[in-house]
Amino acid sequence: MQKAALLEKQSGAFMNTAIQIAQQFSTEGRLISVERFGAGNVNDTYLAITRTTFSESRFVLQRIRKAVFPEPVLLMQNLRIVTDHCHKKLEAESASADRVWQLPKIIPAHSGADYLTDDAGDLWRALSYIAGATCYEKVRDLAHAREAGHVLGHFQRLISDIPASRLHYALPGFHVAPGYLAKLDATLATSDGRARLEASTEARQSLDFIRARHDLCFSLQNALQAGTLISRPTHGDPKIGNIMTDDITGKGTCILDLDTVQPGLIHYDLGDCMRSCCNPAGEDADDLDSVNFDLDLFDAIYSGYIADAKEFISDADRARFFDAIHLLPLELGIRFFADHLAGDVYFKTRYPGHNLKRALVQLRLAQSIESRESQIRKALDAAL
């Protein structure tokens, strides 16, 4: 009871802070409301509404947790580079585009800065609200899947001519699978980590599954170090929940959550998009037997993706696409699993054991991909 009261008090304090912060950004009209918004696992997001005597506007307010992003200022510098670059290209291409492509825009503070910092050291930013479009947590049908691939390919094309050297590593080590293995080993070396492992048969089976795929975790990183693959700007988190489709036309219009934009491999984006979109059971599936890699959804996504991505990808890139599709669910499974063993310190959870359940889903998805390798490779080769 005391814990519930404390959480309620803390929630109220955060909301008061959000209201005070929202008033410090350059938006028209009077602030009417600030409410929690979205279902992100990391940052705190709010939808703010302002009104004038003749209009109503909305904007998105976000608190970037320093505990997750150790240098949030670098994140904002990346965001400024990418959004300025993309908006310029979108404007230049708008007349010939088959739709209105959109991307959030940074709303400056009254001081002119791109962000504000609170007393706890967390960074706050305001972004324009993309109206008339919706994000879905699961793929709705094949047409939606094709649009998701199209949005990812289009965004990668837009940022492909930004020199990777211009961007900071806002989240160092992100999508570097060998690093996640090292963190898992470090957690297992602690008494609490070992205790959580020994407390669950599912946890021990998960560790065995991961250990048996040790070499896969190094496949993309080894290719990068060998120079077979090159570092480029990447989105970092192109899951289906970050892809918006127009409510009227049904066409993809925008990709959100640019916090993880940084240098990396485009393979990370493709693999993560497939991981998110091709499992109809979703990340929180209750029945592991329902988790599978849907080949029809894969074909639809890849056809949309390659329509734009073919302009900048190489044969060497394509040769590693299956590895990426196979690796990314395994990688996320490792991350969920390690967080479970560490006591749920990174991902937000809704109940005890939530991260272990998430890990089991991702590992089952990786297993499903293995069983469909020949069909996936055939489809990738057919699109060359």
Mean pLDDT of 293-310: 96
Residue 92 lies in a domain: no
Band of pLDDT at residue 287, cut at 50, 70 and 90: very high
Report the phi/psi class of residue 65: left, alpha or beta, with left for phi > 0 and alpha for psi in -120 to 50.
beta
* Whether 113 and 161 share a structural domain: no
Pairing of strands 44-51, 56-64: antiparallel
pLDDT at 1 over 60: no
CA distance 382 to 196: 45
Residue 78 lies in a domain: no
CA distances in angstroms from 251 to 148, 162, 245, listed in the order given: 9, 26, 5
CA distance 144 to 62: 27
Q: In the listed set 86, 112, 131, which residue is the last one of a domain according to the structure? A: 131
Q: Determine contact, residues 102/133, Cβ cutoff 8 Å.
A: yes
Q: In the listed set 83, 112, 131, which residue is the last one of a domain according to the structure? A: 131
Give the tens place of pLDDT for each residue, 320-348. Answer: 999 999 999 999 999 999 999 999 998 88
Give pLDDT, residue 105. 97
How many folded domains does the chain comprise?
A: 2
Residue 95 lies in a domain: no
* Number of helices and strands in the chain (H, E): 13, 11
Residue 90 lies in a domain: no
Global pTM value = 0.89
Give pLDDT, residue 7. 35
Give pLDDT, residue 37. 87
Give pLDDT, residue 42. 62
Residue 87 lies in a domain: no
Give the tens place of pLDDT for each residue, 209-268. Answer: 999 999 999 999 999 999 999 999 999 999 999 999 999 999 999 999 999 999 999 999
Residue 215 lies in a domain: yes
Give pLDDT, residue 67. 75
CATH number of the domain residue 361 falls in: 3.90.1200.10
Structure-token pair, residue 343: 């006591």
Structure-token pair, residue 340: 């479970």
Mean pLDDT of 151-167: 97
pLDDT at 16 over 90: no
* Whether 111 and 184 share a structural domain: no
* Whether 173 and 229 share a structural domain: yes
CATH number of the domain residue 60 falls in: 3.30.200
* Whether 186 and 59 share a structural domain: no
Cα angle vertex 346, ends 345, 349, to 5°?
85
pLDDT at 170 over 60: yes
* Whether 164 and 306 share a structural domain: yes
Give pLDDT, residue 343. 97
Mean pLDDT of 128-144: 95
Residue 98 lies in a domain: no
* Whether 139 and 125 share a structural domain: no
* Whether 316 and 284 share a structural domain: yes
pLDDT at 2 over 50: no
pLDDT at 371 over 70: yes
* Whether 117 and 211 share a structural domain: no
* Whether 121 and 139 share a structural domain: no
pLDDT at 118 over 70: yes
* Whether 201 and 338 share a structural domain: yes
* Whether 127 and 232 share a structural domain: no
* Domain containing residue 115: 2-70+104-131
Q: Determine contact, residues 337/209, Cβ cutoff 8 Å.
A: no
What single letter denotes the amino acid at residue 363?
A: L
* Whether 194 and 46 share a structural domain: no
Which residues have C-beta within 8 Å of that of residue 27, sequence separation ≥ 6? 48, 50, 57, 59, 107, 126
Arithmetic mean of pLDDT over the chain: 93
Give pLDDT, residue 14. 63
Most confident of 11-20, 21-30, 66-75: 21-30
Residue 343 lies in a domain: yes
